[in-house]
Chains A and B, each alone.
Chain A
Amino acid sequence: MRLSVLRRIGYMVLIPILAVFSALLLGAIIMWIFGDDPLAAYRGLWTGAFGSPRAWSTTIRKMTPLILTGLSVAVAFKAGLFNIGASGQFLIGSVCSVAVGVNFEGLPAFVHLPLALLAGVAGGVLWGFIPGALKVFTGAHEVIVTIMLNYVASLFAAWTVYAGGTQGQTPGPLWDRTAGAISRTPEVFMSARLPWIVPEPYRIHWGVAIALLVALIMWWILFKTTLGFSTRTVGANSKAARYAGINVRWITILTMMIAGGLAGLAGAIETLGLNHRFAPEFTGGVGFQGITVALLGQTNPIGVVLAAFLLGALEAGAARMQFDSGVAADIIQVIQALVLAFVAAPLIIRQIYRIRKPSDQVETTVFSTGWGR
Chain B
Amino acid sequence: MQRTLRVTSYLAIALVIFFVVMAFLVNLTPLGENTWLRVFFSVSALNFTLRASVPLILGALCGILCERTGIINIGIEGMMLAGAFAAFVAKTSTNHWPLMPSLLFGVAIALLVGGLMGLLHAIFSIRYRMDQIISGTVLIILAGGVSAYLFDRNAVAQGKFGAIAIPGLSQIPVLGEVLFTNPPLTYTALILVVVIHIGLFYTRWGLRSRACGEHPRAADTVGVNVNRFRYMNTVLGGMLAGLAGGFLVLEAVGQFQEGMTAGRGFISLAAMIFGNWMPFGAMGAALLFGYTQALQNELLLAGVTTVPRQFVSMIPYVVTIVAVSGFVGRVRPPAAEGKVYETEGESE
Question: Within the assembled complex, what's the spacing in Å between the Cα atoms of A141 and B141?
Answer: 21
Q: Which among B10-18, B188-196, B227-235, B327-335 touches the partner chain?
A: B327-335
B266 to A138, Cβ gap below 8 A? no
A contact patch SS: helix
A145-B324 contact given A367-B131, A371-B333, CB 8 Å threshold: yes
Q: Which among B29-37, B44-52, B302-310 touches the partner chain?
A: B302-310
A340 to B134, Cβ gap below 8 A? yes
The winner among B128, B151, B318, B335 for most chain A CB atoms within 10 A is: B128
Asked if B270 lies at the interface with its beta carbon under 8 angstroms from chain A, I say yes
B310 to A155, Cβ gap below 8 A? yes
Chain B residues with CB below 8 A from A138, complex form = 325-326, 328-329
B178 to chain A, nearest CB (A): 28
A330-B148 contact given A141-B324, A347-B128, CB 8 Å threshold: yes
Asked if A82 lies at the interface with its beta carbon under 8 angstroms from chain B, I say yes
Number of interface residues of B (CB under 8 A): 52
Closest residue of chain B to A336 (Cβ to Cβ) is B141
A134 to B321, Cβ gap below 8 A? yes
A368-B132 contact given A139-B328, A168-B305, CB 8 Å threshold: yes
B329 to A139, Cβ gap below 8 A? yes
A-B contact count (CB 8 A): 159
Closest residue of chain A to B328 (Cβ to Cβ) is A139
Chain A residues with CB below 8 A from B74, complex form = 143
A341 to B130, Cβ gap below 8 A? yes
Task: Report B312-348 CB contacts with A as 1/0, cut-off 8 Å.
Answer: 0110011011001110110111110111000000000
Q: Which among A5-13, A146-154, A198-206, A245-253 touches the partner chain?
A: A146-154
B81 to chain A, nearest CB (A): 12
B308 to A372, Cβ gap below 8 A? no
B145 to A143, Cβ gap below 8 A? no
A334-B305 contact given A138-B326, A155-B310, A155-B311, CB 8 Å threshold: no
**Which residues 50-83 in B have Cβ within 8 Å of A in the complex?**
72, 74
Task: Report B72-97 CB contacts with A as 1/0, cut-off 8 Å.
Answer: 10100000000000000000000000
B333 to A162, Cβ gap below 8 A? no
A162-B308 contact given A156-B314, A344-B130, A372-B328, CB 8 Å threshold: yes
Asked if A144 lies at the interface with its beta carbon under 8 angstroms from chain B, I say yes
B253 to chain A, nearest CB (A): 19
A169-B325 contact given A151-B314, A365-B131, CB 8 Å threshold: no
A345-B130 contact given A134-B321, A144-B270, CB 8 Å threshold: yes
Chain A residues with CB below 8 A from B332, complex form = 372
Question: Within the assembled complex, what's the spacing in Å between the Cα atoms of A340 and B303?
Answer: 45
Closest residue of chain A to B130 (Cβ to Cβ) is A345
Question: Within the assembled complex, what's the spacing in Å between the Cα atoms of A159 and B309?
Answer: 8
**Which residues 314-373 in A have Cβ within 8 Å of B in the complex?**
328, 330-338, 340-341, 344-345, 347-348, 365-373
A337 to B129, Cβ gap below 8 A? no
B137 to A340, Cβ gap below 8 A? yes
Chain B residues with CB below 8 A from A172, complex form = 308
Closest residue of chain A to B146 (Cβ to Cβ) is A334
B68 to chain A, nearest CB (A): 12
B146 to A145, Cβ gap below 8 A? no
Question: Within the assembled complex, what's the spacing in Å between the Cα atoms of A152 and B303?
Answer: 22
Chain B residues with CB below 8 A from A370, complex form = 72, 333-335, 337-338
Asked if A295 lies at the interface with its beta carbon under 8 angstroms from chain B, I say yes
**Which residues 96-139 in B have Cβ within 8 Å of A in the complex?**
124, 128-135, 137-138
A148 to B321, Cβ gap below 8 A? yes
Asked if B269 lies at the interface with its beta carbon under 8 angstroms from chain A, I say yes
Chain B residues with CB below 8 A from A332, complex form = 145
Asked if B25 lies at the interface with its beta carbon under 8 angstroms from chain A, I say no
Asked if B222 lies at the interface with its beta carbon under 8 angstroms from chain A, I say no
Closest residue of chain B to A372 (Cβ to Cβ) is B333
Asked if B254 lies at the interface with its beta carbon under 8 angstroms from chain A, I say no
Asked if A110 lies at the interface with its beta carbon under 8 angstroms from chain B, I say no
- From B134, B266, B317, give the contact of A344 (CB < 8 A): B134
Interface residues of B (CB under 8 A from A): 72, 74, 124, 128-135, 137-138, 141-142, 144-146, 148-151, 263, 266, 269-270, 273, 303, 305, 308-311, 313-314, 317-318, 320-321, 324-326, 328-329, 331-335, 337-339
10 A-B residue contacts at CB 8 Å?
A: A143-B133, A151-B314, A331-B145, A335-B145, A341-B138, A341-B142, A344-B138, A367-B133, A368-B338, A368-B339
Interface residues of A (CB under 8 A from B): 34, 82, 84, 134, 138-141, 143-145, 147-149, 151-152, 155-156, 158-159, 162, 165, 167-170, 172, 288, 291-292, 295, 328, 330-338, 340-341, 344-345, 347-348, 365-373
